[in-house]
């Protein structure tokens, strides 16, 4: 194919030889551990994974770009390793990093962007392998009106007319070999394909419309095993011996790095040495813990209440747990085994980014790590501790019991919305709540004189019951109602209840969550 854009970019067909190419789409799809990404409450329209070359000492390449959160880098899987070897023959240089994305159908897309070259080895290529349904990459020259390296800037209308567009068809088993000059002067995107199926070609309809994109890069910046030290091309220390401790959070250096990313995104003549030459040791833009919520609002409230009570501020996480496409579904072809209800996950802000998954695990972790120093935390006797853990388990079970009773009542009502009948159906629930009425009568909180795990498990369920049945379910239990109102008035509960109210939609960030092809 003729060179594209600046002459350093070409699309090469049949990149993989016949033995390797056979069934390659399905092999990669089923072999890779995929993750879903969330951004501002919505799911990013593609699945993602990151693989790379992990050294014997655990060090690995790091590719930095504007994002809310990135998947963890895993060692190259066997099939991806074989694809990489074939691509290296076409490039003439080694590759040590791959961003793998699954566009599940024509509605999956990625917005217009330029790759960030802070960590990409100078003079190397960006190599994008396409497997599956054919999609079209649209490349456009950058807007001169936003280009800080241009003078005599045109108006917005003139700018749009002057932009040059090039389209590159990316069929199955093809390689788009992009040079860094094209990446500097052009933006590229995979747009949504909203055409009816009758208007698409056979190659565009192949593989049920799914496309897997493997973007290989030669990265010159590295992290140690624990992601605490950084060195190389894009860092301040250029060798392993000069490695520096990583910087996390909104530091002045992080702000400068983001500004440099923005300049590169708009510049047609980007001076790498001026903006990136000194290097940056920033790894995570935010140093806040992250909470990736589940689909269960009561589970989410339990964790949020604990975090608020312990004064742990956090950001909303954007990465789902990893999953295999066919996990648990033998012989599945086109349906991913994505759990219908992804478990809640908490990533702490310690150096190791300690990650806890699952409601019970997170609550025990927060109690062990973040409750120390809080009132009453260190003063529990052995008997008090036994009581807290026993009622904690009972509190966790209360949610399942209430939901079973609720389902049973709904079945008996046969979709009737008779208020009087609903009230009579509260009998089984009232018998269960009577147990908690007794606990609430013993002390200020469910398991003692201070708030504990038991309260974090029980109170969100009481709140949900109150929301479902108005006040009638709790009114019959005086002490339990007083307890409920007492916790509801605490600053932690006020904060999380306020956060759950609908808010105006926030404007989108300048960058997409993962702005790579």
Q: Across the 517 residues of the chain, what is the mean pLDDT of every consecutive 10-residue run?
A: 92 96 95 75 74 97 82 93 98 97 82 93 98 95 76 57 90 98 95 89 91 97 94 98 91 93 94 97 84 89 95 76 52 45 81 86 95 64 94 96 80 56 64 93 94 96 87 84 95 87 38 39
What are the residue ranges spanned by the domains of the chain? 10-227, 295-372, 381-517
Q: Indicate left, alpha or beta for 488 from its phi (over 0: left) and psi (-120 to 50: alpha).
A: alpha
Query: Which residues on adjacent β-strands are paired with residue 139?
Result: 166, 188
CATH code of the region 10-227: 2.60.120.590
Q: What is the DSSP letter of 357?
A: E
Rounded Cα–Cα distance for residues 488 and 191 (Å): 47
Helix (H, G, I), strand (E, B), or coil: what is residue 103?
Answer: strand
CATH code given to domain 381-517: 1.20.1050.10
Which pLDDT value is given to residue 421?
A: 46
Helix (H) or strand (E) holding 386: helix 382-413
Residue 373: per-residue pLDDT: 59
pLDDT for the residue numbered 337: 45
What is the spatial distance between Cα 272 and Cα 348, in angstroms, rounded to a whole number? 34
Name the one residue in this structure whose structure tokens are 């590295």.
Answer: 222
The structure's pTM equals 0.72
Helices 427-442 and 453-469: crossing angle in degrees, nearest 10, is 140
- What per-residue confidence (pLDDT) applies to 17? 96
């Amino acid at each position: 194919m003729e060179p594209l854009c600046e002459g350093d970019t070409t699309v090469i067909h049949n990149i993989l030889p016949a033995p390797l190419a056979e069934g390659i789409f399905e092999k990669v799809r089923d072999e890779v551990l995929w993750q879903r990404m969330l951004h501002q409450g919505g799911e990013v329209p593609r699945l993602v994974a990151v693989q790379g070359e992990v050294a014997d000492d655990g060090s690995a390449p790091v590719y930095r770009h504007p994002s809310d959160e990135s998947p963890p880098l895993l060692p190259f899987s066997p099939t991806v390793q074989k694809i990489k070897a074939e691509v290296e023959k076409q490039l003439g240089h080694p590759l040590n990093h791959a961003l793998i994305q699954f566009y599940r159908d024509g509605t999956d897309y990625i917005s217009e962007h330029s790759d960030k070259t802070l960590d990409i080895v100078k003079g190397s290529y960006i190599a994008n392998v396409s497997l599956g349904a054919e999609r079209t990459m649209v490349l456009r020259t950058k807007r001169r009106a936003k280009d800080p390296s241009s003078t005599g800037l045109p108006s917005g209308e003139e700018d749009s007319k002057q932009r040059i567009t090039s389209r590159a068809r990316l069929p199955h088993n093809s390689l788009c070999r992009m040079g860094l000059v094209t990446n500097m002067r052009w933006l590229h995107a995979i747009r949504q394909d909203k055409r009816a199926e009758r208007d698409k070609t056979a190659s565009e309809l192949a593989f049920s419309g799914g496309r897997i994109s493997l973007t290989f890069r030669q990265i010159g910046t590295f992290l140690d095993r624990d992601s605490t030290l950084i060195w190389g091309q894009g860092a301040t220390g250029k060798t392993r011996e000069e490695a520096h401790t990583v910087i996390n959070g909104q530091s002045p250096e992080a702000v400068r790095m983001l500004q440099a990313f923005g300049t590169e995104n708009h510049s047609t003549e980007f001076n790498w040495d001026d903006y990136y030459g000194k290097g940056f040791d920033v790894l995570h833009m935010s140093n806040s813990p992250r909470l990736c919520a589940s689909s269960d609002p009561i589970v989410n409230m339990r964790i949020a209440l604990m975090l608020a009570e312990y004064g742990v501020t956090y950001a909303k996480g954007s990465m789902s747990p990893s999953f295999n496409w066919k996990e648990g579904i033998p012989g599945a072809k086109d349906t991913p085994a994505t759990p219908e209800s992804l478990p809640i996950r908490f990533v702490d802000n310690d150096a190791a980014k300690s990650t806890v998954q699952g409601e019970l695990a997170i609550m025990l972790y927060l109690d062990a790590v973040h409750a120390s120093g809080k009132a009453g935390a260190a003063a529990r006797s052995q008997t008090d501790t036994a009581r807290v853990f026993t009622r904690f388990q009972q509190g966790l079970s209360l949610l399942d019991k209430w939901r079973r009773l609720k389902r049973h009542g709904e079945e008996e009502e046969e979709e009737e919305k008779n208020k009087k009948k609903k009230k009579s159906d509260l009998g089984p629930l009232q018998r269960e709540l009577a147990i908690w009425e007794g606990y609430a009568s013993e002390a200020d909180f469910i398991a003692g004189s201070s708030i504990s795990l038991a309260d974090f498990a029980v109170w969100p369920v009481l709140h949900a019951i109150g929301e479902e049945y108005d006040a009638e379910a709790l009114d019959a239990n005086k002490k339990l109602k007083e307890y409920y109102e007492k916790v509801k008035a605490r600053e932690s509960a006020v904060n999380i209840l306020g956060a759950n109210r609908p808010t105006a939609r926030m404007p989108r960030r300048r960058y997409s969550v993962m702005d790579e092809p």
